[in-house]
Amino acid sequence: MKAMARHILVATEAEASRLKKRLAQGEAFDVLARKHSLCPSGKRGGDLGEIRPGQLVRPVDQVIFRKPIRTVHGPVKSQFGYHLIEVFYRDGA
């Protein structure tokens, strides 16, 4: 199984919630990721590339491989902070 996803990592749940509202109002995910994400993937608009199960921390992994695609999920808490996650596609190969 593999998937492609992007995320925004921030320090607080409140900040993640504010960014999720901005996304819901139509702001671009990649622009917000470049500006706000604490993860190095922020420079790529939050793009995590191709992911296989077990590559990322468990809370993020569970969203990527179990939740609906093309929906922004979160805030999702991990030891790194709070994530907003969007899955582009997932396949069972």
Taking the whole predicted model, whether its pTM rises above 0.85 is answered as: yes
Total domain count for the chain? 1
DSSP letters for the chain: -EEEEEEEEES-HHHHHHHHHHHHTT--HHHHHHHH--SGGGGGTTEEEEE-TTSS-HHHHHHHHHSPTTSEEEEEEETTEEEEEEEEEEE--
Letter for the amino acid at 83?
Answer: H
Alpha carbon distance 68, 31 (integer Å): 23
* Mean pLDDT score, 19-31: 97
Q: What is the CATH number of the domain that holds 34?
A: 3.10.50.40
Domain hosting 23: range is 2-91
Residue 92: predicted pLDDT = 75
Tokens of 72: 């922004």
b/e map of 58-68 (b: 16 or more CB within 10 Å)?
ebbbebbbeee
Residues 49-90: tens digit of each pLDDT: 999 999 999 999 999 999 999 999 999 999 999 999 999 999
